[in-house]
Structure 1
Amino acid sequence: MTGSLGRDLLLCAALALPGLASADSAQPAPVQGFDPAHTRFGFELRTRWGQKVAGDFPRYEGEVETLPDGRRTVRIRLATGAVRVGDSERHTRLARGPRFFDAERYPLIEFVSEPHPYALVQDGGRLRGKLTMHGVSRIETFVIDPAGCARPGRDCDVVARGSVSRADYGLDGWQFALLDRVRFTLRVRLRPEPPP
């Protein structure tokens, strides 16, 4: 009885020690940046006459942080001063101007996701997080497509889509011409891993 109890206690200690060691080591969580060769951030609006207005954010910062429990957090910052609307200089100027993204006052659109399991980028599903745009922060949800490969973010893009209300963020310019919803599309791939 005593020998069995002793073995059980030793087994419990052996199982617990690795967890304690990793908690006490306080190693910084690995952070992986986005690969600019593959990553794209686009948006789309519709006019009241059914036309599509599409643009993109060619300048951005972003990373995926792996937390100690294995979940991930995504951080994205889009530069509104670099936004482009198709090949139109006029529409690009209007998008950056005070009646829309107002890049001079609000130079960044930021999104910070809630922690999520890695399985989300494999199986697809809803990704919630805080979106800050035009000086307003709100919780929004993006939908991630199921992965098209075994290592999403490495061998293929992670694709997410979501739409937000312009009215929620005070983007009230051009109401006579544009509908309320802004649809965002994100295609993200991580920087290649360095060779061993």
Structure 2
Amino acid sequence: MYVILDHIIFIPSTLFSFIMSSNTATKRVNRGRQRIPFTKVEDETNRKVMFSKRRSGLFKKASELCALTGVDIAIVIFSPANKAYSFGNPNLDVVLNRYFGETDTSQENAANEILRAHHEANMSTLTPLISDMESQIDDQMKSGQAYSDAEICRPHLSDLHLDQLKDLKYHMEELRFQTYEKLKEASKSEMVTTPMGIGGVFVPFSCSGINNDGVGPSGTS
């Protein structure tokens, strides 16, 4: 029980301890990164997407390992649709022949060494390019997601107040005026840099269609 004396509440120590322990128990405990269990993806579409992504990642890691250490690697994968995908360095046949104990002739060995050197040179050149392209793709995907989020969060014009509409109108007119100035500068630059032939007539670029709404030479925003 608790007692109220002159608007002061006295809570027994046992009840206070119970309240504090309850508040502590309701707090969310951050356990950090959790290991995701490896189980088969049941949805067929998701399973195909997962296979394609993991296959590309596996081949990329194998290519990087070959470029860094010069090892021979052979990988054969069968998709859920029973389609075979393979990766080999210097090529799949050489690695499989070594694995099964089949020896090549000296001429084949020389050809394989040339092929290996050519393949390693290509991998050392292409691996950084592939990584850079993947980074660019990730950046583009993030930019696209940010644009989609902005489109979702952008309010409709009918939801804006009068002051907000006036502010939006001001910024749009300012943008249109700046566009007009850029076009005018570009037309002047073209008049200076474009050579005139003998007997030719030069017609400068016109921006007259922009200043009809109070923006440009005929008015201000």
Which TM-score band applies after superposition, normalised by the shorter structure?
under 0.3
Q: TM-score w.r.t. structure 1 length? A: 0.21
Q: TM-score w.r.t. structure 2 length? A: 0.19
- Pick the structure with more strand per residue: 1
Based on CA coordinates, which of the two structures has the bigger radius of gyration? 2
- Pick the structure with more helix per residue: 2
* Greater RCO, CA 8 A, separation 6+: 1
